[in-house]
Structure 1
Amino acid sequence: THAPMAETSLQGAKLPIRSNFRHTPKILSCFSSDRPKIRMPRILRTRYVKQVGEQINLVLPFIGKPNPVVCWLKDGQPLDTKRANVRNSDRDSILFIRSSQREDSGVYEMTVKVDSFEDKATITLQILPGPPATVKLVDTWGFNAALEWTPPTDNGNTEITGYTIQKADKKTGEWFTVLEHYHRLNATISDLIMGNSYNFRAFAENKVGVSESATVTKEVAHIPKTGIVYTPPEYKEHDFSEAPKFTTTLSDRAATVGYTTKLLCSVRGFPKPKIEWLKNQMVIGDDPKFRQISNQGVCSLEIRKPCSFDGGVYTCRAKNAQGEATVSCKLEVKRMYLPTE
């Protein structure tokens, strides 16, 4: 006979439950995600410089699960697919431009996104500047030639820092540099050789470097030979008369009560222009509060220990027989407030 089942177990005790499986399986999550992260190459962390026509191939690795959504922008706008191509894999994104042009310069931004998480990286692409828009031979006299030029239409996405001017004798065709890192838009080239003819060209410079091409003058400067006995030319002597023209304008500024301040500008013209300073359209004259100086085209107005009433619109007026020109700026005089304890 068999004892009842109730007698085979301890009262109040729990017997182990047997199973055909040796271990109870753990329940695993079907989904996992890692925050996206762009691994920016060191060479791209500051700026990326290229010449016009060079191929651009930027590879930006990234991580993230599931595969991140990749987006590219240029200067905050979607990429022009006619200029740039993008190829994405599960671990990197490649920006490819077959032949770079100056309009490709700018700030490129790459974004990788997984769910609500994202990472961004920016690359500044800089292209060397274009040449000056025009270069003109203004005049030739003696052993000198006067040139004028205009800034390039494309600055290569960074500020123009200067110009390089070269000359070439038409007999040899060799170019020689006469000016470097030159900041003005006009110059006089001296020490030209009698009996020779010259072309001139100008390059533009920015922080990246010098433009790969130059703009050449259409006119040729002929330096005539002179005999032992000087024979005056039969044409009229060149008229150097020029109406006043400000080459540096006034800038708005703020000053502090009691602290002397100075306004500066520069002007050219022939005959030498007469300089007048005005405050709120009234001529300042010989007011001892103001000190007016004009030296070699640089005009300055020193305002000694200004008070709040000295604020207003200041004008520099230059006049000669050919005409007149003015520039103005606004001066604001502020009080200094000391902190209270």
Structure 2
Amino acid sequence: MGVAEDFAPSFTQKPQLRQEDDGNKLIFECQLLAAPKPEIQWFRSEEQLSEDSRTNFRIQSIGTNKYLVVLELDDVVETDAGLYKVKAKNTMGEVAASINLNFSPMDEPKEKQIDGLAPTFAKKPAIRQEEDGKRLLFECRIQADPRPVVSWFHNNNPVSEGPRHKLRIEKDGHSYFATLEIKNVTVEDAGKYKVTAKNDLGESNATISLNFDSGDDAAGFAPSFIEKPKIIPNESGTLITMKCKCKAKPKPDVSWFRGTTIVKESSKIKLRIVDIEEDKYELSLEIKDPAAPDGGTYRCHVKNEYGESNANLNLNIEAEPEPEGDGPTFVEKPRITSHDSGKLVVMECKVRANPKPDIVWYREGQKVVESTKIKMSFTKIEEDVYYIKLELRDPGTEDSGLYKCNISNTLGELNANLTLNIEIIPVIKEKPKVIKVIKKKTIIVECKVLSKFAPECTWFKEADAVKEDSRHSVHVEQVKDGEFAVKLEINDVQKTDKGMYKLVAKNEKGEAPHRQLR
């Protein structure tokens, strides 16, 4: 890309027409800015033109990211009259403009040409956050005359005005300021956005991507359902399809249940999982020739290494209405934070659910209960959005392990896994001892150290640190979970090796009191 940023094409000079060879040759010219170099297409009355013996195209660089675009038309005939349009397109967007060719002032053009400027983006769209990220503003400046019609798209779907979306366009001098506002932002709002500006002289578009580093990170994220589950019967009633859509990374394992019984494929039942886009999946269960015994509560269970989620569907062959509301979904990815120099650990997340969900915390499969050390809270922060928190005071190694937050209501269930690792100062279990002497030439001194993770170890002889070289080597080996054997191997033993040896072991939490060997 070089030093400058890439940008969509924009016209610096609208198409102009000049004659050569006593009118037998016509030349259409325009100038534009673009990076990277654009692809050019010419049209007459919406029909794309191709080069031939009479028609020649040229695009010529006339400066940094500036181009002269030319259409030459030889041996001009009356049927060449019409509305000509030039379209320039690169990876950042596209722009178009038009000019009418009439051979007589008395000729009434079949298609209207308006003086002015086709829309061009004066500045690449930008995203601005407000209210701690709860409100996002997509903003761009457009040069156009007459006023353009502006449309917004999210993942190729049109964005319409609503309670969460506001669309504005305001005139600002010789340009227009277009804004898309999103309120109560959730992770489902991530994706590719496109803005299109169009008037009678042409159109232009530009794209911008919205990513959240909190939830959908490169490593992966727990499954969550992105649409309310649906039950779809065919017209004849001979097939019922239950559909859910979820996002997950990596791809989840999917299981269906009716009540507490797992649903298996058969001649009557088909299970499918379809990739619909990156990290998003459509899950379906098809029931052929459904009957009353097939009714009941169905549950779609999705799981990967980061967590799990459930969606409930009530199948009533008598077609009773589905309950209103939504199963739980994450607004913010669950996380663990440390406060007060490690004396307080907080596990927290935000979810959207209707009706209000029930919350249960587990550690290593055991239900967590409140105590002087553990406090749990569950707060409604806005309509259908809840803040869930577990506080752990003065954490120790016994508090380490896999924590699971289970969030459920009548329409679904959501789980998140959080792994808590607590490190402590290493403990030297016993003083160093000689464990092996090989032919009086090699001595191995060993010391056992207790630590959650491998500690940083240094051996000393008297007051001097023993440096590793051809005669001295240090080995740290894990004996079992939380215990390490630290060995000092001395080769080609000499009289000068006599003396007092001690081991110092430390980690991020501190340093263990040393033990000595004489």
Please report the TM-score for the alignment, with normalisation by the length of structure 2: 0.27
Greater strand fraction, Structure 1 or Structure 2 = 2
Tell which has more relative contact order, 1 or 2 (C-alpha 8 A, sep 6+). 1
Q: Which has the larger radius of gyration?
A: 1
TM-score (norm 1): 0.39
